[in-house]
Structure 1
């Protein structure tokens, strides 16, 4: 009998813990997200976006939506959208179905919140209702009555939330992104302003300071709207600012105790903030400053410690706890126009982004101030190179480094992992200047015919590039070079690459640690400098057909393969010992086409010529990798003894450099047909028709 009694009591305890909701002990700072069917409940740290599954079995196999936290009895109320019932949940997230009269029996509600011991639900086209919850104080089985406030409900909402200070509801229209205020006595909706964001905002919360948080179903992104004062609300300026990232779901709703602070100072500090001044850099939580949830795995330097708030310069979080701003070291001076080496010590593999306030205007928002974007770091020391803009302001300024398991972080906002370090840096006067080819913002056009040593169709569009060089001089000598441009046409069936040689510059004088190649601002793997060369030479594009692939042939030389320019390149390299301007090769240096190894390149070659095949501008000698046995094949009349290279007998070249953003011939249209004066120009040795390339001298419909 005693054993039976024990088993019976155990069963009753198990059943009661599952069926009866237990009130929350206090008003929690955490937000709660209800997602899916059957519903799962997540705890969300709105500060960082960190989330964890709290309950995947509420005792119901249905979805629960329209949830709100009741500060009077510390329960969460919501709507069972499957069975059309109002439910109540406590800290164990077990759902109790309530008895409610007065709601439409054939309608479900996805919008709800609780205020002053009343549960409010809303449905577009149906109306706004409120339910007095006080009868439940004495009996959970009491019958509740829903009161219709208004049947006018034209705003398309998927959630709303009560402001903690003014007793009004706020929600965002999914179609327009407009913020609306609702009077709970009449149900009247008043348009406040445009949030600037669209989507299904299935979960909305307030904090104690009057900030509204929106969780978007499609991507889980959490936005914040400042409604902290009546003056701001009245102004109608209510932009939604990205705040953090959370989980996403097509069935999404949220509840939170609006009078709770976002950060619970009664618990151990688990968030790392930055240290830069808050004025514009965005450091404090109020300013949506950079902050990271400490995940126990991801940090910079030896350690990271948590803060309850962002220490403001001249203080730092080192002055509050331990010295943890030790993950970034500046190896070389930071000088305008030059490259600087930094070392970053990472605890594990992760992603680094960094910003420098180059113009010292108190923010990180200007163009070019994000210097590292989602760079993958390995555990241990990582050497990185940053390019300092020529116009960087000399003196002290701030930098910010964010290391996380997330990508796409801005210089502000929350992260679910990692650390943020802010560092004061000094930009020193390096006596630098710059010179450009052809100008600071202009390009020349370089065009190649890849049929050398034959002329074939001679349409001069097999590879067409825009091309620019910027040299940075330190104390009058060239210390750094940037070669940038665009691949604008590939009218070729042969696979070719593009390279640049610096004649007379020793290959060993190139700083390999500072050599970087970018495509569309994305850093490319490997070292662009060619190995096995005495003179410095760089591979910019290894295969133009592959790089320009748009699922069509003859890129931007035929109308049916007309696309926007898809590849912009930038090659940066520094000279270990700066070179005098008199010793540097004249710009444009030596840009040349070569055959991509492993591909057929015409009938003049018994086998794929690969890197030994080159096409240079007229009268430019090839590199040391060129096979001199190719001279005078087919129509080529190159003669090293007379310094004649890459010309036909009537001086027609296989490569052109034009001081203009030139319009090249269409596919299989001879250059002399598209530009009739070109033939006289070449046969005269450049003595006549020097403007043959001008568009006014072209034949309509013959150029691209």
Structure 2
């Protein structure tokens, strides 16, 4: 075929027929600005924008009244996803494909007017001209004939609202707009054009772009300053009760020519999130649904030495930002204690010059809204270590509370809302009485690892992953070095056991009567429980954290985080906040970490080779740790056990192999059915010498490749 003939044939093909539709329903919004047209992508969550193109193929013409057509399937998997808009100078409807190439579509039945309000829903393109009329255009003829001339239908010739954009709600199929002059939210009837006031948003201005997300949140962007506001229309109760206040959500770009389009069926965060969220309880506004703080990552601005990873939402208990992904919460350190009525010193590591703001919940009411709780206001940090001082109020409530630190190129951030750069770090903190001190195990922020093999008194498969927990302890000591408070926090990291096991913590040296039962509390996943766990029928101070850990793990996989294919998220976190009675002498209290142990769950528990259910009487402790008063001494010396109380020998085999391990750090445990010594060959020498040799056997580099569990968070 000749070149001339080829060119002739191509010239006969409609540009619309050659256009390529969007192949997904994007999470980003698209903002059309300027003349000639500039198309930007907008991350509604953070406000970050990026220029996609400044040339859509229409010379110097501008485009407005844009809307995203979600398309419909035709049985062959093909979707008609395009953006439609109105070219203002020539007063023509245009269609933009996935590459943002614009082509003119012929339409009859429209007045000679330059529309700047539009959206697409259910294959109809709706145009609204204040004072001109309300129209809709059926787009489906283009599916079979790219050169079809479309016909506009008149809905109403009366369009009185002073609006500059509207958008369709994906849940109730209704059309919403905010009137610029009075800030009222209107619902527009697409059959008649009549409008109904829903309520007052509390915001005015020229809102040139409006978008919905799949959950029914309505976003409006103000031209003058680019502010993005969110209106919660996800709940019909909000609509019916006129509770439609617009909350500041993110900072976007300003423009005197602004219009937006978005696929309303998409969430605002996709699976490729590049956003850092907080992880305090949601009463502090942490989740996206609560307009929690979030920062665009990858900008070079962050706290600490480790750049933040990305999440799809805030991470509340039992998860936090260090348990899910990279341990990146390393930017803030409290150099001195937070003592009521004194000045505390805080060290903050910054990657670059930027602004830091911070909040601390002094009265422990679960928010950062009270006077004086913004402790740092747009402090300019330099790259490296920065030292700041914070005045602790004399009336600050003593005990555990939360702080929030936000670092960004942007100034003026609140404790909630989006930011185009930086990082947010939420830190639990303790406010103390003057004269008291804190002692931590294994460190203020680190976790120790407990691992149990629950086949005692048999060795079993010895993969040491039947129960794996991580925990830390903080003691509060008064001026006489008496422990007045003990805070134990931790989480279940893995559960490879087929048996049912409980977990407990004994405080050797303290008795039941030494504990302030009324003040002591237990939390599961941040929620205070009815029982504080103190074992009422024991003389010793023993706390039952859970009598059946197997009930705390998801049912989807039998090898919770021990088989490599079982990658379920952390599901159980605990906190015991223990107070001693006034005047109790705690000098006899065993050094941290006290005596953590597992025991047989009463009832469903079954063990191979046992002819009855031992229940609470079967305990497994760390090597050479004597059991509690509840232990059934009948089992000393059975099968593989060589325990002998006369020699202070407990829970070890003849080869000194223990049934429980304590590692003062995070540790990668063996995969299911992988023997501990196969996974960590140096452990054999460590056990044989009772811990004298091979003391670093547990380090990652000591593990045999492919034998330990690798989390994929």
Q: Same fold (TM over 0.5)?
A: yes
Q: 2:99 — aligned with what?
A: 92
Aligned pairs for 1:262-273 (under 5 A) are 262-265=268-271, 267=272, 269-273=273-277
Aligned residue number for residue 465 of structure 2: none
Distance 2:168 2:431 in 1: 49
CA distance in structure 2 between the partners assigned to 1:342 and 1:16 by the alignment: 66
Instruction: Write the deviation string for residues 173-215 of structure 1: whole angstroms up to 9, x where unpaired.
Output: 0000000001111111000000000110000000000000001
Deviation at 1:16, TM superposition (A): 8.8
Tell me what 2:70 maps to. Answer: 71
Selected match of 1:384 from 385, 388, 392 = 388
Distance 1:346 1:220 in 2: 28
Change (3 A) 1:220 1:19: farther
Residue 90 (structure 2) pairs with residue 83 (structure 1): yes
Judged with a 3 Å threshold, the aligned counterparts in structure 2 of structure 1 residues 428 and 43 are, in CA distance, closer, same or farther, namely same
Give yes or no for the alignment of 1:113 onto 2:119.
yes
Query: In structure 2, do the counterparts of structure 1 residues 19 and 37 end up closer, same or farther at CA, with 3 Å as the change threshold?
Result: farther
Aligned pairs for 1:450-465 (under 5 A) are none
Q: 1:46 aligns with which of 41, 44, 47?
A: 44
| Cross-structure match for 2:398 | 394
1:183 aligns with 2:184: no
Of 423, 445, 448 in structure 1, the residue corresponding to residue 427 of structure 2 is 423
Pairwise CA distance, 1:315:
2.3
Q: Distance in 2 between the 1:368 and 1:199 partners?
A: 32
Work out the CA distance in 2 between the residues paired with 1:21 and 1:368: 58
Q: Give SS of 1:286's match.
A: helix
- Partners of 2:16 and 2:187 in 1: CA distance: 38
> 1:655 aligns to what?
none
Answer with 1 or 2: which has the greater Rg.
1
Deviation at 1:21, TM superposition (A): 3.4
Distance 1:371 1:11, change over 3 A: farther
Unpaired runs of at least 5, structure 2: 72-79, 437-478, 480-713
Residue 161 in structure 1 maps to residue 167 in structure 2: yes
Q: Distance in 2 between matches of 1:155 and 1:335?
A: 58
The Cα of 1:9 is off from its aligned counterpart by 6.7
Provide the C-alpha distance between the structure 1 equivalents of 2:435 and 2:331, rounded to a whole number of angstroms. 30
For the 8 Å contact 1:19–1:96, the answer to whether it is kept is: no
* 1:443-484 alpha-carbon deviations (Å, 9 max, x no partner): xxxxxxxxxxxxxxxxxxxxxxxxxxxxxxxx9xxxxxxxxx
Describe the shift of the 1:347–1:149 C-alpha distance in structure 2 as closer, same or farther (beyond 3 A). Answer: same
What is the distance in 1 between the residues matched to 2:287 and 2:277?
7
Looking at structure 1, the residues matched to 9 and 334 of structure 2 have their Cα atoms a distance apart, in angstroms, of 65
Q: Is the 8 A contact 2:15 2:103 kept in 1?
A: no
Q: CA deviation at 1:5?
A: 7.1
CA distance, structure 1, for counterparts of residue 134 and residue 324 of structure 2 = 50
CA positional deviation for 1:12: 6.6
Instruction: Give matches, 1:198-597, under 5 Å.
Output: 198-265=204-271, 267=272, 269-278=273-282, 280-303=283-306, 304-430=308-434
**What's the CA shift string for 1:143-170, capped at 9, x where partnerless?**
1111111122111100000000111100
Paired residue secondary structure (1:250): coil
- 1:288 Cα deviation (Å)? 0.6
Deviations 1:205-232 (A, max 9, x none): 0000000000110000100000002221
Shift in CA distance, 80/301, structure 1 to aligned 2, threshold 3 Å: same
Q: 1: CA distance between counterparts of 2:190 and 2:211? A: 17
Task: Tell me the distance in 1 between the aligned counterparts of 2:116 and 2:368.
Answer: 40
Residue 192 of structure 1 aligns to a residue whose secondary structure is: strand
Contact 1:364 1:370 (C-alpha < 8 Å) held by counterparts:
yes
Contact 2:364–2:401 at 8 Å: present in 1 too? yes
Q: Which region of structure 1 is more displaced relative to structure 2, 375-384 or 293-302?
A: 293-302
Please tell me whether the aligned partners of residues 21 and 88 of structure 1 are also in contact (alpha carbons under 8 angstroms). no
1:28–1:257 Cα contact (<8 Å) kept: yes
Q: TM-score of the superposition, structure 2-length normalised?
A: 0.58
Aligned partners of 1:320 and 1:245: how far apart in 2? Answer: 28
Distance 1:264 1:10, change over 3 A: farther
Could you tell me whether the CA contact under 8 Å between 2:29 and 2:42 is conserved in 1?
yes
Dislocated runs of 4+, deviation >6 Å: 8-13, 15-19
Mapped pair 1:128 → 2:134? yes
Q: Aligned to 2:338, what secondary structure does the other structure show? A: coil
Q: Output one character per residue of 1:409-458: Cα deviation in whole Å (capped at 9) or x when no partner.
A: 110011111110000111111279xxxxxxxxxxxxxxxxxxxxxxxxxx
| Partner SS for 1:396 | strand
Alpha-carbon distance between aligned partners in 2 of 1:326 and 1:188, rounded to the nearest angstrom:
56
**Match for residue 146 of structure 1?**
152
**1:86-118, Cα deviation, whole Å (9 max, x unpaired):** 11101111111110011112x111100001100
Question: Is the 2:108–2:151 contact (alpha carbons within 8 Å) kept by the matching residues of 1?
Answer: yes
The alpha-carbon distance between structure 1 residues 357 and 108, as it changes in their structure 2 partners (threshold 3 A), is: same
SS at match of 2:339: coil
Q: CA deviation at 1:134?
A: 0.7
Which one of 21, 24, 32 corresponds to residue 23 of structure 1?
Answer: 21
Aligned length: 426
**Mapped partners of 1:401, 1:16: distance in 2:** 56
Secondary structure (helix, strand or coil) at the match of 1:180 reads strand
Deviations 1:379-435 (A, max 9, x none): 111001112222211111100000111111110011111110000111111279xxx
8 A contact 2:135–2:156 mirrored in 1: yes
